[in-house]
C-alpha cells in the first residue's frame, strides 16, 4: 500500500463507514461511552487505520470483528447483537481491498 496516497482515502472511508453504523452512532449520541464518546469513535477510526496500514500480517475479517466488538463493549458498554459488527467488518475489508487496487470510489452499503 502506498501509504502517502492511500491513507487519506482509507481514513475517510473508515470514518464514513463508522458514521453509517447505527449501533455506534446510537452509543455516541446517548453517550454510552461517557462524555468522551466522540473521542472514542475517533480512537476507533485510528485503531482501524493502524490495523490496515501498519500491520504486515494478512488481514482477516475475524480480526476486524474482534476489534469492533471489543471496542463497543469496552468503550461504549454496548454489545451489538444485530449482526452489524459483521456487516461493518465486511465493508471495511471491501474498502481496504479497493484502496489497495487504487479504487477510491467504493460504494458503501448503509449499515
Helices (H), 1-111: 3-20, 22-29, 37-54, 61-76, 84-100
- Digit-by-digit pLDDT tens for the chain (111 residues) are 445 567 888 999 999 999 999 999 999 999 999 999 999 999 999 999 999 988 778 899 999 999 999 999 999 999 999 999 999 999 999 999 988 887 766 555 555
pLDDT, position 26: 96
**Grid cell digits, residue 3:** 501509504
pLDDT of res. 5: 63
Place of cell 453517550: 31
Nearest to 71 by CA among 110, 14, 109: 14
Written as one string, the DSSP assignment of 49-69 is HHHHHH--SPP-HHHHHHHHH
The pLDDT assigned to 107 comes to 58
Amino acid at each position: 500500500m502506498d501509504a502517502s496516497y492511500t491513507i487519506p482515502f482509507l481514513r475517510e472511508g473508515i470514518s464514513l463507514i463508522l458514521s453509517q453504523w447505527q449501533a455506534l452512532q446510537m452509543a455516541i449520541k446517548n453517550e454510552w461511552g461517557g462524555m468522551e464518546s466522540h473521542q472514542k469513535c475517533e480512537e476507533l477510526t485510528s485503531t482501524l487505520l493502524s490495523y490496515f496500514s501498519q500491520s504486515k500480517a494478512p488481514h482477516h475479517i475475524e480480526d476486524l470483528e474482534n476489534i469492533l466488538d471489543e471496542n463497543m463493549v469496552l468503550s461504549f458498554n454496548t454489545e451489538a447483537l444485530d449482526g452489524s459488527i459483521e456487516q461493518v467488518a465486511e465493508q471495511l475489508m471491501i474498502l481496504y481491498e479497493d484502496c489497495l487496487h487504487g479504487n477510491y470510489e467504493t460504494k458503501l452499503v448503509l449499515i
